[in-house]
Amino acid sequence: MIRQAERSESTRANLMAAARELFAERGYAAVSTPEIVERAGSSRGALYHQFKDKKDLFRAVYEQVQQEILQQVAETMAEAPPTDTLAVLEAGLHNFLLSCVDPERVRITLIDAPSVLGWQEWRAVDEKYGLGLVVAGLESGVQAGILRADLDIRPLALMILSALGEAAMFIANADDPETARAQTEPAVLALINGLRV
């Protein structure tokens, strides 16, 4: 039973890796399930055993990428001086915006995900992975006495998450994403600094 579960997990991982490569290279619409199966060295039966359809597979890949971004941002925040709450927030925001110039992440999370999943599902996944980190950062700033305590954290965090989403889209759709990121980062940091006590 354990070996079967391991094989199933290995098949799923191979299908996701193949799909991720193809989605990043050419985009969701230009990739067929037979291509994914061939690249993964798998079968159509295995694909449909693991995933309901191509969209379900894409959603799994999208969530995987979101988890990686969240982990990277959290690690960056953990490396900042813990006594400087704003430096922790700024490090996380900087790292997130850097992820917006990565072509694979841009294609999957910002170009394809909104249209493939639909805006509501795209935002729900975004909130699932990003909202908790934004809330934690704001709460930490309030507890440290650096950020205003007179605002409700959850709606504020949702607005910041939305602003980050717009910043990400601006960067992703720019002719020169790196320049757009450099232009966007001070504006995003100004939003956070505007919450200082």
pLDDT in tens, the chain (197 residues): 668 778 889 999 999 999 999 999 999 999 999 999 999 999 999 999 999 999 999 999 999 999 999 999 999 988 988 788 888 888 999 999 999 999 999 999 999 999 999 989 988 998 888 888 899 889 988 998 989 999 999 999 999 988 998 999 999 899 999 999 999 999 999 988 888 88
What is the SS3 assignment for 155? helix
Q: Within 2-118, where are the H helices?
A: 2-26, 33-40, 44-50, 54-79, 85-99, 103-105, 113-117
Contact yes or no for 116/123 (Cβ under 8 A): no
pTM listed for this prediction: 0.89
Q: Report the largest interatomic distance among the alpha carbons of the chain, rounded to a whole angstrom.
A: 58
- Give Cα 164 distance to the centre of its chain: 11
pLDDT at residue number 1: 64
Task: Estimate the crossing angle of helix 85-99 against helix 177-193, to 10 degrees.
Answer: 150
pLDDT at residue number 136: 87
